[in-house]
Copies of this chain bind each other. A is one copy, B any other.
Amino acid sequence: MHSSHFGPLIKNAWYLAAWSNEVTDQPISRKILEQDVVIFRDHLGSVGILEDRCCHRAAPLSLGEIVEGGLQCGYHGMVFNKNGQCVLNPGESTTPARMRVKQYLAVERQGFIWVWMGDPALANDAEILDFPFHDQAAEWPFQYDRYHIHCNFMLLIDNLMDLSHLAYVHRATIGGAPSKQATATMTVEPTDTGVKFLRWILNVPPAPTFVKAMQFKTNVDRWSDFEYVAPAAVLQWAGAIEVGRNAQDNRNQDGAYSMRMFHAATPETENTCHYFWSVANGYRQDDPDAATDLFNEIVPTFKEDIVMLEAQQRKLEREPKRGMMPREQDSAVNLARNAIERLSSERP
């Protein structure tokens, strides 16, 4: 059992390394699971992820540039292909096979670039999380971003697993209404890879965001459908339907406010993470303003979370093993923690 409130860094797992669109003609330096890597798209368009350290003199390859054959070190000009092999050794009589840098497996799909930081022999790309909505831009137009957060990645997952914080952290944006939030019902169930929950708040005034999107005239029934998939992703489907339309039996009806979010919290270090997220609107899909408005509503909400997460992190860094005091509403938090500890013990 992991002995601190910081989630374990599991090497043998797939993590989101970058959005596809981030990796263009300039190599990117990024730290993932305590390792500095360089992410680049070679001259043929394939993505490579290598240790960000030239084997010759330890210069960061991310200071180099893309050339025919791969990524050229900016110090003495050695070129490495996406497998990490040196393919050009300028001014030298030979290019020894031992001139190579460590490669990490990379898979690009659905707008994501995934990386496997552990033993390549254990990697299976069938385990990569599927998020088909990114392939369905007509139905689910999406926008996305990435934040660097100074907190252990599991604090971010915990935050998503206990929505009772909406009434306080987000009182000025999507939350508030503490008395209504306190009436939420929640069904929670463990899964093989994490935990799912469905949270309903019935007969509640629609949030200003909802009204702006859908012109609701009455109270709504509002749901939050979340799934945590260990180690580091959360899939979210949220929405609202006017009261009296059997929302709980049919969430896919016309006139529903419906949105999907993807969250991934890739550990940078034990104390920091990269937070990738996308949001897709399942309504007014032909209206680009709908996507932009939704994105612009979400951003300040996450800024509120970041303030709290980084403050919580500072406290925990001083005493990472000191006890917390769970509440009833932490049931999904606890199941998420169980899932990552299970994965950690299975992938030593």
Contact = CB atoms under 8 A, between A and B. Distances in A.
B325 A92 contact: no
Interface stretch (A138-146, A236-244, A308-316): A308-316
A76 B70 CA distance: 50
A90 B167 contact: yes
A312 B169 CA distance: 42
Given A58-B324, A60-B311, A91-B164, 12 more contacts: A56-B325, A58-B312, A63-B311, A75-B165, A75-B169, A75-B312, A76-B162, A76-B327, A76-B329, A77-B164, A77-B167, A92-B328
B92 A327 contact: yes
Nearest to A326: B56
Contact of A74 (B73, B74, B169): B169
A168 B73 contact: yes
Count of this chain's copies in the oligomeric assembly: 3
Given A63-B308, A75-B169, A325 B164 contact: no
Given A63-B307, A98-B325, A312 B57 contact: yes
A272 interface: no
A75 B77 CA distance: 52
28 contacts: A36-B315, A55-B324, A55-B325, A56-B325, A57-B158, A57-B324, A59-B308, A59-B312, A59-B315, A60-B311, A60-B312, A63-B308, A63-B311, A74-B168, A75-B308, A75-B312, A76-B165, A76-B327, A77-B164, A77-B168, A89-B327, A90-B164, A90-B167, A90-B178, A91-B181, A91-B329, A92-B327, A98-B325
A207 B168 CA distance: 57
A141 B87 CA distance: 45
A99 interface: yes
Interface of A: 5, 36, 53, 55-60, 63, 72-77, 89-93, 98-99, 158, 162, 164-165, 167-169, 178, 181-182, 184, 307-308, 311-312, 314-316, 322, 324-329
A90 to B, nearest CB: 5
Nearest to A55: B325
Given A59-B308, A59-B311, A77 B327 contact: no
A56 B308 CA distance: 14
A56 to B, nearest CB: 5
Given A77-B164, A91-B184, A327 B58 contact: no
A326 B168 CA distance: 57
Contacts of A93: 328
Contacts of A314: 60
A56 B167 CA distance: 16
Nearest to A179: B90
Contact of A315 (B53, B307, B311): B53
A200 to B, nearest CB: 14
Contacts of A182: 90-91
Contacts of A76: 162, 164-165, 168, 327, 329
Contacts of A36: 315
